[in-house]
């Protein structure tokens, strides 16, 4: 096994995992904002 190839594969996997984590956190944040906006609109009416 080539150690350099293994290291680059691991780093790439880590990068993808971080990217996925960032996307999921962003999605949760947006959902909360939309939910609060909806509650605020319902409360105003």
Tens digits of pLDDT across the chain (45 residues): 678 877 787 788 888 889 999 999 999 999 999 999 999 999 986
pLDDT at residue 22 in the model: 95
Q: Is the pTM of this model over 0.75?
A: no
Measure the CA–CA gap between 34 and 2, rounded to whole angstroms: 48
**DSSP state for residue 14 in the 8-state scheme:** H
pLDDT at residue 44 in the model: 84
């Amino acid at each position: 096994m080539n150690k350099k190839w293994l290291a680059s594969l691991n780093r790439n996997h880590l990068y993808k995992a971080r990217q996925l984590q960032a996307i999921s956190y962003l999605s949760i944040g947006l959902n909360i904002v939309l939910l609060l906006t909806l509650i605020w609109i319902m409360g105003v009416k």
